Amino acid sequence: VRDDPVAGTRAGTIVEVEAYIGEEDLASHARFGETARNRVMFGPPGMAYVYLVYGMYDCLNVVTEPAGRPAAVLVRAVAPSEGIDLMRAARLEWAIGRRRAIQPGQAGRIADLPVARLASGPGLVCAAFGIDRAATGTDLCDPASPVRLEAAPAAVEVAASPRIGVGYAGVPWTDVAWRFFVPGEPSVSGRRRR
DNA sequence: GCAAGGATATCG
DNA sequence: GATATCCTTGCA
Protein backbone atom coordinates (compact mmCIF):
# COMPACT_ATOMS: atom_id res chain seq x y z
CA VAL A 1 0.00 0.00 0.00
CA ARG A 2 1.15 3.50 -0.80
CA ASP A 3 -0.68 6.51 0.64
CA ASP A 4 -0.17 9.91 -0.92
CA PRO A 5 -1.75 12.67 1.21
CA VAL A 6 -2.84 14.66 -1.81
CA ALA A 7 -3.13 12.19 -4.68
CA GLY A 8 -4.67 9.25 -2.83
CA THR A 9 -3.94 5.58 -2.29
CA ARG A 10 -2.30 2.95 -4.44
CA ALA A 11 -2.47 -0.72 -3.51
CA GLY A 12 -1.91 -4.15 -4.95
CA THR A 13 -1.07 -7.76 -4.20
CA ILE A 14 2.52 -8.98 -4.37
CA VAL A 15 2.63 -11.86 -6.84
CA GLU A 16 6.38 -12.39 -7.35
CA VAL A 17 9.37 -12.14 -5.00
CA GLU A 18 12.95 -13.31 -4.62
CA ALA A 19 14.83 -14.17 -1.43
CA TYR A 20 18.40 -13.07 -0.73
CA ILE A 21 19.91 -14.57 2.37
CA GLY A 22 23.09 -13.67 4.18
CA GLU A 23 26.63 -12.64 3.34
CA GLU A 24 27.29 -16.14 2.01
CA ASP A 25 24.65 -15.61 -0.70
CA LEU A 26 26.88 -14.43 -3.56
CA ALA A 27 23.86 -13.06 -5.43
CA SER A 28 23.06 -10.68 -2.56
CA HIS A 29 24.24 -7.13 -2.09
CA ALA A 30 25.33 -8.32 1.35
CA ARG A 31 28.06 -10.49 -0.21
CA PHE A 32 30.67 -7.77 0.35
CA GLY A 33 29.64 -7.27 3.96
CA GLU A 34 28.13 -4.09 5.30
CA THR A 35 28.56 -1.03 3.07
CA ALA A 36 26.99 2.41 2.91
CA ARG A 37 24.48 1.16 0.34
CA ASN A 38 23.29 -2.03 2.01
CA ARG A 39 23.52 -0.89 5.65
CA VAL A 40 19.78 -1.21 6.25
CA MET A 41 19.96 -4.93 5.39
CA PHE A 42 22.05 -5.40 8.52
CA GLY A 43 19.44 -3.65 10.68
CA PRO A 44 16.10 -4.81 12.08
CA PRO A 45 13.53 -6.55 9.85
CA GLY A 46 10.49 -4.97 8.25
CA MET A 47 12.44 -2.07 6.78
CA ALA A 48 12.59 -1.09 3.12
CA TYR A 49 15.85 -1.42 1.20
CA VAL A 50 15.64 0.34 -2.18
CA TYR A 51 18.57 0.31 -4.59
CA LEU A 52 19.19 1.49 -8.12
CA VAL A 53 20.02 -1.10 -10.77
CA TYR A 54 21.20 -0.66 -14.35
CA GLY A 55 21.38 3.07 -13.83
CA MET A 56 17.65 3.67 -13.99
CA TYR A 57 15.52 1.21 -12.09
CA ASP A 58 14.76 1.33 -8.39
CA CYS A 59 14.07 -2.02 -6.75
CA LEU A 60 12.14 -2.48 -3.49
CA ASN A 61 13.28 -5.04 -0.94
CA VAL A 62 11.95 -5.96 2.50
CA VAL A 63 14.53 -6.72 5.19
CA THR A 64 13.57 -10.05 6.71
CA GLU A 65 16.03 -11.19 9.38
CA PRO A 66 16.99 -9.80 12.81
CA ALA A 67 19.70 -7.14 13.05
CA GLY A 68 23.15 -8.47 12.25
CA ARG A 69 21.84 -11.05 9.77
CA PRO A 70 21.53 -9.41 6.32
CA ALA A 71 18.61 -10.79 4.34
CA ALA A 72 15.88 -9.31 2.20
CA VAL A 73 13.06 -10.17 -0.17
CA LEU A 74 12.95 -8.39 -3.52
CA VAL A 75 9.43 -7.42 -4.56
CA ARG A 76 9.41 -8.29 -8.26
CA ALA A 77 5.78 -7.83 -9.25
CA VAL A 78 2.46 -6.54 -7.93
CA ALA A 79 -1.07 -7.05 -9.21
CA PRO A 80 -2.65 -3.58 -8.88
CA SER A 81 -5.95 -3.37 -7.04
CA GLU A 82 -6.44 0.29 -6.14
CA GLY A 83 -5.28 3.64 -7.51
CA ILE A 84 -4.88 2.44 -11.08
CA ASP A 85 -4.98 5.94 -12.55
CA LEU A 86 -2.39 7.07 -10.02
CA MET A 87 -0.10 4.23 -11.03
CA ARG A 88 -0.51 5.08 -14.68
CA ALA A 89 0.31 8.72 -13.96
CA ALA A 90 3.34 7.68 -11.90
CA ARG A 91 4.58 5.40 -14.67
CA LEU A 92 4.38 8.25 -17.17
CA GLU A 93 6.01 10.71 -14.78
CA TRP A 94 8.77 8.19 -14.18
CA ALA A 95 9.30 7.63 -17.89
CA ILE A 96 9.60 11.34 -18.54
CA GLY A 97 11.91 11.97 -15.60
CA ARG A 98 14.19 8.97 -15.86
CA ARG A 99 14.61 8.40 -19.56
CA ARG A 100 16.74 10.85 -21.42
CA ALA A 101 14.61 10.77 -24.54
CA ILE A 102 10.96 9.84 -24.26
CA GLN A 103 9.96 7.95 -27.36
CA PRO A 104 7.14 9.30 -29.46
CA GLY A 105 3.96 7.55 -28.52
CA GLN A 106 5.22 6.43 -25.13
CA ALA A 107 2.56 8.40 -23.30
CA GLY A 108 -0.07 6.63 -25.36
CA ARG A 109 1.48 3.26 -24.68
CA ILE A 110 1.41 3.79 -20.93
CA ALA A 111 -2.17 5.04 -21.15
CA ASP A 112 -3.14 1.85 -22.99
CA LEU A 113 -1.18 -0.51 -20.74
CA PRO A 114 -3.29 -3.31 -19.25
CA VAL A 115 -3.77 -2.91 -15.49
CA ALA A 116 -1.94 -6.20 -14.92
CA ARG A 117 1.21 -4.78 -16.55
CA LEU A 118 1.49 -1.59 -14.53
CA ALA A 119 3.78 -3.12 -11.89
CA SER A 120 4.90 -6.35 -13.55
CA GLY A 121 8.62 -6.15 -12.80
CA PRO A 122 10.86 -4.95 -9.97
CA GLY A 123 11.61 -1.64 -11.65
CA LEU A 124 8.00 -1.19 -12.62
CA VAL A 125 6.75 -1.80 -9.07
CA CYS A 126 8.75 1.19 -7.89
CA ALA A 127 7.79 3.30 -10.89
CA ALA A 128 4.07 2.60 -10.43
CA PHE A 129 4.13 3.18 -6.66
CA GLY A 130 6.46 6.18 -6.81
CA ILE A 131 9.11 4.51 -4.65
CA ASP A 132 12.80 5.40 -4.88
CA ARG A 133 15.93 5.10 -2.77
CA ALA A 134 14.67 7.84 -0.43
CA ALA A 135 12.25 5.20 0.90
CA THR A 136 15.13 3.11 2.22
CA GLY A 137 14.69 2.65 5.98
CA THR A 138 10.90 3.07 5.87
CA ASP A 139 9.20 0.75 8.36
CA LEU A 140 6.96 -1.26 6.06
CA CYS A 141 5.19 -2.87 9.02
CA ASP A 142 4.10 0.43 10.57
CA PRO A 143 0.43 1.12 9.68
CA ALA A 144 1.31 4.83 9.73
CA SER A 145 4.00 4.53 7.04
CA PRO A 146 3.15 6.01 3.64
CA VAL A 147 4.51 2.81 2.09
CA ARG A 148 3.63 -0.36 3.93
CA LEU A 149 2.82 -4.05 3.76
CA GLU A 150 -0.60 -5.39 4.64
CA ALA A 151 -1.83 -8.95 4.85
CA ALA A 152 -3.34 -10.28 1.63
CA PRO A 153 -5.34 -13.43 0.90
CA ALA A 154 -2.98 -16.37 0.49
CA ALA A 155 -2.33 -17.40 -3.09
CA VAL A 156 -4.00 -20.62 -4.18
CA GLU A 157 -0.74 -21.79 -5.70
CA VAL A 158 2.88 -20.64 -5.41
CA ALA A 159 5.63 -21.83 -7.73
CA ALA A 160 9.40 -21.52 -7.33
CA SER A 161 12.22 -20.99 -9.83
CA PRO A 162 15.83 -19.84 -9.85
CA ARG A 163 16.36 -16.13 -9.27
CA ILE A 164 16.59 -13.78 -12.23
CA GLY A 165 19.72 -11.95 -13.39
CA VAL A 166 22.16 -13.44 -10.87
CA GLY A 167 24.47 -15.25 -13.27
CA TYR A 168 27.49 -13.55 -11.73
CA ALA A 169 26.93 -15.38 -8.44
CA GLY A 170 27.85 -18.86 -9.70
CA VAL A 171 26.60 -22.23 -8.54
CA PRO A 172 24.79 -22.92 -6.29
CA TRP A 173 23.41 -19.39 -6.03
CA THR A 174 22.32 -19.23 -9.65
CA ASP A 175 20.39 -22.48 -9.30
CA VAL A 176 18.68 -22.33 -5.96
CA ALA A 177 14.92 -21.83 -6.46
CA TRP A 178 14.36 -18.74 -4.37
CA ARG A 179 12.08 -16.89 -6.75
CA PHE A 180 8.47 -17.39 -5.74
CA PHE A 181 5.47 -16.40 -7.81
CA VAL A 182 1.83 -17.12 -8.55
CA PRO A 183 1.85 -19.21 -11.73
CA GLY A 184 -0.28 -17.89 -14.56
CA GLU A 185 -0.86 -14.58 -12.81
CA PRO A 186 -0.72 -11.92 -15.56
CA SER A 187 1.12 -9.41 -13.35
CA VAL A 188 4.15 -11.67 -12.93
CA SER A 189 7.14 -10.10 -14.69
CA GLY A 190 8.11 -10.48 -18.32
CA ARG A 191 7.70 -13.88 -19.90
CA ARG A 192 8.29 -15.51 -16.56
CA ARG A 193 4.71 -16.14 -15.61
CA ARG A 194 5.43 -19.82 -15.28
C1' DG B 1 19.13 -9.17 -29.64
C1' DC B 2 20.79 -5.00 -27.53
C1' DA B 3 21.42 -0.16 -25.90
C1' DA B 4 20.47 3.05 -22.32
C1' DG B 5 22.10 4.69 -17.87
C1' DG B 6 24.27 5.89 -13.16
C1' DA B 7 25.79 4.10 -8.86
C1' DT B 8 28.69 0.80 -6.63
C1' DA B 9 32.67 -1.91 -5.42
C1' DT B 10 37.23 -2.66 -6.42
C1' DC B 11 41.63 -1.74 -8.08
C1' DG B 12 45.56 1.24 -9.34
C1' DG C 1 40.53 8.65 -9.85
C1' DA C 2 39.34 4.99 -13.46
C1' DT C 3 36.65 1.04 -14.80
C1' DA C 4 33.93 -3.22 -15.02
C1' DT C 5 29.69 -4.62 -13.53
C1' DC C 6 25.05 -4.61 -12.33
C1' DC C 7 18.69 -8.38 -8.40
C1' DT C 8 16.05 -4.28 -15.93
C1' DT C 9 13.29 -2.67 -19.50
C1' DG C 10 11.45 -1.61 -24.01
C1' DC C 11 12.76 -0.99 -28.03
C1' DA C 12 14.89 -2.79 -33.04
Helix (H, G, I), strand (E, B) or coil at A11: strand
Give the nearest nucleotide to A53, CA to C1': C6
Asked if A55 CB < 7 A from strand B, the reply is yes
Chain A residues 134-173 within 7 Å (CB) of strand B: none
Average pLDDT over all residues of chain A? 93
Exposure of A29 by Cβ count < 10 A (0-12 exposed, 13-18 middle, 19+ buried)? middle
Strand C bases near protein CB (under 7 Å) are 5-11
Q: What are the CA-CA distances from residue A133 to residues A71, A152, A167, A178 (Å)?
A: 18, 25, 24, 24
User: Under a CB-based contact definition with an 8 Å cutoff, are residues A147 and A2 in contact?
Assistant: yes
What digits encode the pLDDT tens for the residues A131-157? Answer: 999 999 999 999 999 999 999 988 889
User: Under a CB-based contact definition with an 8 Å cutoff, are residues A33 and A2 in contact?
Assistant: no
- pTM, rounded to two decimals: 0.95
Is the confidence at residue A101, as pLDDT, over 70? Answer: no
Give the type of residue at A87.
Answer: M
Is the confidence at residue A102, as pLDDT, over 60? Answer: no
Give me the pLDDT at residue A43, please: 97
Chain A residues 64-103 within 7 Å (CB) of strand B: 99-101
What digits encode the pLDDT tens for the residues A46-64? Answer: 999 999 999 999 999 999 9
Q: What percent of chain A has pLDDT over 70?
A: 95
The gap between A153 CA and B9 C1' (Å) is: 40
- Count CA within 13 A, CB hemisphere, residue A64: 14
